[in-house]
Amino acid sequence: MYFSDIGIFVLKRDVKLQLTNLRCILCREKMKLEQEKTQKEADIKIKNGEVLALQKELDAVSNTVKQLEMQKAEAQKRLDELDDKVTSPTPDSRVM
């Protein structure tokens, strides 16, 4: 019976040691995953900032394009008015 008790003691000790080793492995893995998660969150924040900056730039360029289109339309209107003045007969230009 004494030999059996020693065997059980050694077995329990080995199981405890293995559990301790597994806990260490799991703790290291958990830390690694938490670091990766933190890094991914930081990367996402950076990308979101870049997207926001690009969206603002796009909005600014879109507004510029709209303004230029309005200026172009106004310039075309003025050109058309000048063309009408040039092509329409004036009282001085009639042949007598």
Which is more confidently placed, 80 or 1?
Answer: 80
Residues 7-51: pLDDT tens digits?
A: 888 889 999 999 999 999 999 999 999 999 999 999 999 999 999
**pLDDT grade, residue 67 (50/70/90)?**
very high
Report pTM: 0.59
Structure tokens at 40: 């991914």
Locate the domains of the chain by residue range. 2-84
Q: What is the pLDDT of residue 92?
A: 63
**pLDDT grade, residue 68 (50/70/90)?**
very high
DSSP assignment of 2-60 equals HHHHHHHHHHHHHHHHHHHHHHHHHHHHHHHHHHHHHHHHHHHHHHHHHHHHHHHHHHH
